[in-house]
Amino acid sequence: MSRPKARKPKGFRDAFSETAVARRNMLATICDVYRRYGFQPLETSAVEYVDALGKYLPESDQPDAGIFAFQDDLDEQWVALRYDLTAPLARVVAEHPELPKPFRRYQYGPVYRREIKPGKDRFREFYQCDFDTVGCDSMAADAEVCDVLAAAMRALGLDEFVIRVNNRKILNGLLDSLELADAGQRLAVLRTLDKLDDIGINGLEAQLGEGRLDKSGSFNAGVGLSAAAIDRLTGFLQSREDDRERTCDALFERVKESESGREGIQELREINELLDVVGLSSELVRFDPSLVRGLEYYTGPVFEIELPFTIKVKGKQKKFGSVSGGGRYDYLVERFTGQKVPATGASIGVDRLLAALEHLGRVDATGTDGPVVVTVMDTERRVEYQRMVQQLREAGIAAEMYLGSGGFKAQMKYADKRRAPIVVIAGSDEFERGEVTLKDMDLGAKLATEISDNEQWRKGQPAQITVHRDELVAQVTAILSRQ
């Protein structure tokens, strides 16, 4: 008989109790912040029509690639797993014109990317947690994105982070000043600028010019710009000041001949005024001309949260980098309606942020303990054991009766693997006396590392107490509160 091999698909992963609970707690904290700012939950299908999703990913070099798609037997139309939570939002807003405008929603859930060769720590299914304001063209909505992101990071106990902000209109103004009319060359310039953190300023200059050798020794053809144009681009990227207002002044001098550039600068000035009102300093929210994201997607301000610490990758220290990104996208709903519907928002990369919290020791794993386990010492008394379990559950305590077939040693092993905080033990003697024995598993594990003398352990039994049967719930509650 041929048996299938137990294996998960490449690029996917399983999440066991600790990860699942930590993610749940983190999402609850973030969503509490979203609700406090007036955003309401929305849930959308994991599957959308391909034409509704659109034919490009926000960061994709191949606009028609990257999705899991199939033809639906019901209507013979092509559908696909969502690749983000923004495209479904645009469809919902277009499909339901009765929604209040602005429409403010948050959503979290898995999204899917059909990467052919997913690299290390890159997965084809991962979680995002978004909030968006649709139907508002005021820069107040964009300033609020920074405010919400900062509040979410602080709620998670993160104090060291930087929110980087730029504006696509300023970048377009820069390209206008270089008199780059060819759309392909403009896009190639932006994609190259986006690689600054990876290839450094020298590599960037080479890539904007004739080309460069990558780490493998292969030659990457360059964009072919003149030396003067390259100087203007690198000068632009390095024109950030410590103060947001001064950064706006410096950038204005570089794009003032472009209407798009001037408009982008004015939008940043409006955002700056609002950030000052809510007390977000220039150290925390930074106007950064080197931020380039969502090349086919965003139309105005763009945002990114960067965590400044480093991690070791293959023996080398590397910046942890971004855990969130977003921006203004004023044309997604227009694809459906033909009318411009302004929108802005941001997405938190849930798995990446959780990895950062783990690295910093800030993970909230509350709730990962298993249930109280009631052992079965006398199979003839299963009804009595079940009654204990029921009493604990009615008191709001997670509990279960051991349902396996092993003896006491096997049951204790099971309770240990289940991370049970307490084990309830009652044999014939306990039943005759109307008592139960409670074993504090957490305290027992701790004391086991401190007590080396077996006789001392037998005499003390400090992690195990015997109480009257009527005191079961009260004593279990007391032990749990101490833990």
Q: Report helix, strand or coil for 380.
A: helix
Instruction: Please indicate whether residue 138 or residue 311 has the higher confidence score (pLDDT).
Output: 138
Q: Same domain for 387 and 305?
A: no
Please tell me whether residues 337 and 381 are part of one structural domain. no
Checking if the pLDDT of 305 tops 80, the result is yes
Which residue from 78, 98, 81 is spatially nearest to 44, judged by alpha carbons?
Answer: 81
Residue 57's pLDDT band, with cuts at 50, 70 and 90, is: low
CA distance readout (Å), 427 to 148, 329, 374, 378, 385: 56, 67, 11, 6, 10
**pLDDT for res 301:** 97
Question: In this structure, are residues 286 and 273 in contact, taking their beta carbons and an 8 Å threshold?
Answer: no
Whether 417 and 354 map to the same domain: the answer is: no
Burial of 115: CB neighbours in 10 Å, binned 0-12, 13-18, 19+:
middle
- Which stretches of 329-417 are assigned E, i.e. beta strand? 343-349, 372-374, 399-401
Residue 9 CA to residue 124 CA, distance in Å, equals 10
Mark whether 321 and 385 lie in a shared domain: no
CA 27 and chain centroid, separation:
8
DSSP assignment of 324-335, as one string?
EEEEE-SSTTHH
The C-alpha angle with vertex 21 and arms to 17 and 22, in degrees rounded to 5, equals 115
Prior bond of 102 cis (ω within 30°) = yes
Do 74 and 189 fall within a single domain?
yes
Q: Residue 292 pairs with which residues in a beta bridge?
A: none
Structure tokens at 22: 């930590």
Mean pLDDT of 410-436: 95
The closest alpha carbon to 11, from 128, 127, 117, belongs to 117
Q: Do 271 and 148 have their domain in common?
A: yes
User: What's the total number of domains in the chain?
Assistant: 2
Q: What is the pTM assigned to this prediction? A: 0.86
Report whether 115 contacts 124 (CB < 8 A). yes
Q: Is residue 365 part of a domain?
A: no
Are 266 and 346 in the same domain? yes
Whichever domain contains 164, its CATH number is 3.30.930.10
pLDDT tens string 161-208: 999 999 999 999 999 888 877 788 888 888 888 888 888 898 888 888
Residue 119 has pLDDT above 70, yes or no: no
Q: What's the pLDDT score for residue 62?
A: 45
The amino acid occupying position 63 is: P
Residue 391 backbone phi and psi in degrees, to 5: -65, -40
Rounded Cα–Cα distance for residues 70 and 354 (Å): 32
Confirm whether 275 is domain-assigned.
yes
- The verdict on 343 and 407 lying in the same domain is no
Are the CB atoms for 134 and 101 separated by under 8 Å? Answer: yes
* Domain termination site, one of 360, 382, 417: 360
Domain presence at residue 10: no
In a domain, 444, yes or no: yes
* pLDDT value of residue 168: 94
HSE-CB of 139 using CA atoms within 13 angstroms:
19
Give residue-wise pLDDT tens across range 354-394: 999 999 999 888 777 899 999 999 999 999 999 999 999 99
User: Are 148 and 294 members of one domain?
Assistant: yes
Whether residues 297 and 430 fall in one domain: no
- Domain with 448, as residue range(s), is 372-482
The DSSP element (H or E) to which 49 belongs, if any, is strand 47-49
Within 10 Å of residue 312's Cβ, how many Cβ atoms? 8
pLDDT value at 460 more than 60: no
User: Beta 422-425 vs 372-374: how paired, if at all?
Assistant: parallel
pLDDT attached to residue 120 = 65
Task: Assign residue 450 the CATH number of its domain.
Answer: 3.40.50.800
Same domain flag for 399 and 289:
no
Answer with the one of 323, 338, 360 that is the final residue of a domain. Answer: 360
For residue 408, the one-letter residue type is: F
Q: Residue 3 falls within a domain, yes or no?
A: no
Q: Which of 325, 360, 395 is the last residue of a domain?
A: 360
Residue 5 lies in a domain: no
Q: Note whether residue 11 is domain-resident.
A: no
**Quick one: 313 and 406 in the same domain?**
no
**Three-state SS letters, 284-318:** CEEECCCCCCCCCCCCCEEEEEEEEEEEEECCEEE
How many Å apart are CA 206 and CA 217, to the nearest integer? Answer: 14
Give the pLDDT band of residue 457 (cuts 50, 70, 90).
very low
- The answer to whether residue 102 sits within a structural domain is yes
